[in-house]
Amino acid sequence: MSSNRGLALLSIFAVLYTVLRLIPTFPMIGATGTFSASDVVSPIYGILLGPYIGGGSIILGTFLSIIFGRPAIFLGFDFLPALVSAVTLGLLVKQKFRLVTIIFALLILLFLINPLSLLFVTLPYGFVIPFNWLHILAFALLLSPLSKKALVWITNSEPKYLPQGLLILFFIGTMMQHLTGSLLFESVFGFLLNSIPQDAWPSVWNAAFYLYPVERIIITIIATIVGSTLITTLGSSESIKSLSQRKENQAKMK
């Protein structure tokens, strides 16, 4: 891809991301603010644009949205969660499974060792489960053969299994995005601003525990519908075509 075309794509998708960031969706628990419609497209950016153009579009789009009136809730680091989602999915398309696995494992570890994190939640009738149960499920999915199978499905010329492949990849990316957002939330409001007292964090996370699976599943499903429609209508992106070409070359070498 030429540098001029790359800059054009980055600019166009940054503007689109800016507009979507100005559209509110779910309320944030423990902070004054809302999530935005841009959360749906961040994993799509990674698949369609790759880690560099997709990530750059998100960074630029985030700061443009701040200029146009969306508050910077996380001291200007608001781009980080979506950036992680786009970059890691872009890396998966490049078959960088080991690197993405390391990043995901590090995010989980950082959350677990943070003193403000809630490790376990007690459900009715005394059942105790990890707060991160859905993140752990996404991590297990990344480690499983299904993540590699998903790449086969999205590069197949037959679109029959395209939605299934995108659903798996988008679920992984969305959960990494949420985990990054949780770490950023703790760092800003717990340590840097100290606006949430330490003894209030268990209540915040207990409330989030019942909401975050619903919002993340909704985001994953919508992203899958939108992504499937875009790829089916417009054709495969340069990233997906590049992956297909690599697979063909590997097959010829065997």
pLDDT digits (tens, 9 = 90+) for 41-75: 999 999 999 999 999 999 999 999 999 999 999 99
Residue 121: pLDDT band (50, 70, 90) is very high
Q: What is the pLDDT of residue 233?
A: 82
Q: Is the pLDDT of residue 252 over 60?
A: no
Q: Is the pLDDT of residue 9 over 70?
A: yes
Contact 71, 33 (CB under 8 A): yes
CATH of the domain spanning 3-253: 1.10.1760.20
DSSP 190: I
Residue 144: pLDDT band (50, 70, 90) is very high
Q: What's the helix, strand, coil split of the chain in %, to 5?
A: 75, 5, 20
Average pLDDT on 101-125 reads 96
CA pair distance 78, 60, nearest whole angstrom = 11
Residue 156: pLDDT band (50, 70, 90) is confident
Residue 241: pLDDT band (50, 70, 90) is low
- Record the tokens describing residue 191, joined without a space: 């340590």
CA pair distance 61, 86, nearest whole angstrom = 13
Q: What angle do CA 226, 58, 183 make, to 5 degrees?
A: 100
pTM reported for the whole predicted model:
0.91
Question: For the chain, what are the domain ranges?
Answer: 3-253
